[in-house]
Chains A and B, each alone.
Chain A
Amino acid sequence: MEKLNLKSIALLLGTALLTACQVYTPEEAYQSLQPVQKIKVMDSYNQTLIVLQSSALFSPGTAQLKPGSRDILQDAMDVIEGLSSNLNITVTAYGVPVGNKDAVKKLSEAQAQSVAAFFWAKGVDMKRIKIEGKSYTDADLQSESVKASMMQYRVEVSLQARS
């Protein structure tokens, strides 16, 4: 009888602990996978590099900017406007290592164009802007980490002096 009581108490405690651990709803769990830092700005001696997380910018598998991406792109635009208007801008989009390499490259090019077109519509001279779309490499396929793939899925905006 005493053993049974102990078993019941242990079972109750276990259930209570498991319930307490279930902090996230499925939506919250999805959100936790999203990139925390959507924009990163890095300065080196010859260039300023703005890195934007593509998962925060684009609807999956498209070059369509998400409604919420405007704020992120506007932050990038503020950085561009704060620097010399003589700098060349290279927008390079990188794809995720999923599917056909050529298709990924074409999608990346279109995504680079969407970002570049935003800057152009905000007043950046199109003659300053260069666009590149990159597919994945075989080395990227070795990575088994989802987080590493998410880091790979990005748009880089590089500002450099004209050579």
Chain B
Amino acid sequence: MKLRWIFVYSLVMSSVVANVSFEGISQVDVKGAVQLYLQKQDRSMSSEQLGVVIDRVGSKLMIKTDFSSNKPVKVAIFAKDAFANLQHLNVHGSSSVYSSNIKPGSLHVYSDSSGSIQLTQVSNVARIESEGSGSIEAYWITSPHLELVISNGKVKVGGQVQRLFMTGSGKSKVDASGVVAESAWISAKDESFLKVRATNFISMEGSQDALVESYRDAKFVNEVTRDGSALIHVRG
């Protein structure tokens, strides 16, 4: 991880700088084969390798690789406001996003990418939706509600929330055992595999071969399972 950020700083010193403002951004769309780094800094700026296009329309920022680029292209964006207005982060293609210590208001993450997304020290994540084959990691979430809608890929989250809503389908794998939730509502189907840690209430609506592992004894359990689906209580 440290090596990655060392690379980001070396990128700042050596590459092209886009003439775009990065404050007040509410949405970031990443397409193609971009490796995007988002971070807070005293001065808002970007630094990118050749072969990437950065456009801002209103409060939306679009970052994509141009046609000449076949290899992953690295882009670092620094915002003075720590992306305080960021609400939507959409990641497509084979792009990846790495972010540390940004302060979005209430962030919705969507990915159909085969790349990876890592959000560390990002607390206000409200929703993660994954349709791509890639992986998503997010720590430490302290939103009141967290919604995970995962139909593909691997997702791992950590933090503390009041209510956790998890929808798993396809062959998705979701490890939310790092999230201490007061209540967890789970809907799981197909071959999805989910891990959860709820203290007060857990409800599972399961079908087909979906499997949910519960890592803490919730006071109240409502388990409605059909076919080969199951809720397994694992002592954590």
B147 at the interface (CB under 8 A from A): yes
Chain A nearest CB, measured from B217 CB (Å): 14
Residue of A nearest to B218 (CB): A110
Beta-carbon contact of A117 and B203 below 8 Å: yes
Are A65's CB and B201's CB within 8 A? no
Q: Which residues of B contact A121 (CB under 8 A)?
A: 185, 187, 205
Residues of chain A lying within 8 A (CB to CB) of residue B183: 113
| B224 surroundings in chain A (CB, below 8 A) | 65, 70, 118
Answer whether residue A101 sits at the interface, using C-beta atoms and an 8 A cutoff.
no
- A113-B198 Cα distance, complex, nearest whole Å: 13
Quick check: B220 and A107 within 8 Å, CB to CB? yes
**In the assembled complex, A106 has its CB within 8 A of some CB on chain B:** yes
Interface flags for A57-74 (1: CB within 8 Å of B; 0: not) read 000001111000010000
User: Size band of the B side of the interface?
Assistant: 10 to 19
B203 touches A113 (CB 8 A): yes
Smallest Cβ distance from A122 to chain B, in angstroms? 9
Q: Which residue of B lies closest to A110 (CB)?
A: B220
Pair count A-B, CB < 8 A: 49
Q: Chain B residues near A116 (CB, 8 Å)?
A: 185
Q: Is B221 located at the chain interface by the 8 A CB criterion?
A: yes
Pair B222/A64 contact, Cβ less than 8 Å: yes
Q: How many residues in A have their beta carbons less than 8 Å from beta carbons of B? A: 17
B180-209 contacts to A (CB < 8 Å): 183, 185, 187, 200-201, 203, 205
Alpha-carbon distance between A117 and B203 when the two chains are bound, in angstroms: 7
| Residue A55 interfacial (CB < 8 Å) | no
Q: How far is the CA of A93 from the CA of B148 in the complex (A)?
A: 27
A151 close to chain B: CB less than 8 A: no
Task: Digitize A125-140: 1 where CB-to-B-CB distance is under 8 Å, 0 elsewhere.
Answer: 0100000000000000
In the complex, which residue of chain B has the Cβ closest to the Cβ of A63? B220
Measured CA separation A110–B222 after assembly (Å): 9
Contact with B along A144-156 (1 / 0, CB 8 A): 0000000000000
Contact A126 B145, beta carbon cutoff 8 Å: yes
Contact of A120 among B185, B200, B201, B222 (CB under 8 A): B185
State A64–B231 Cα separation when bound (angstroms): 13
Q: Which A residues, 78 to 116, have Cβ-Cβ distances below 8 Å to chain B?
A: 106-107, 109-110, 113-114, 116
Q: Are A106 and B219 in contact (CB under 8 A)?
A: yes
In the bound complex, CA of A69 to CA of B201 (Å): 19
Query: Nearest Cβ distance between residue B187 and chain A, in whole angstroms?
Result: 4
Chain B 200-236 per-residue mask, 1 if CB under 8 angstroms from chain A, else 0: 1101010000000000000111111000000000000
Determine if B5 is an interface residue (Cβ-Cβ < 8 Å): no
Q: Flag if B219 contacts A114 (CB, 8 Å).
A: no
**B165 interface hit (Cβ, 8 Å):** yes
Write 5 A-B pairs (CB below 8 A) sorted by A numbering: A62-B221, A106-B219, A109-B201, A120-B185, A126-B145
Shortest 6 CB-CB contacts between residues of A and residues of B: A110-B220, A117-B203, A121-B205, A114-B222, A121-B187, A63-B220
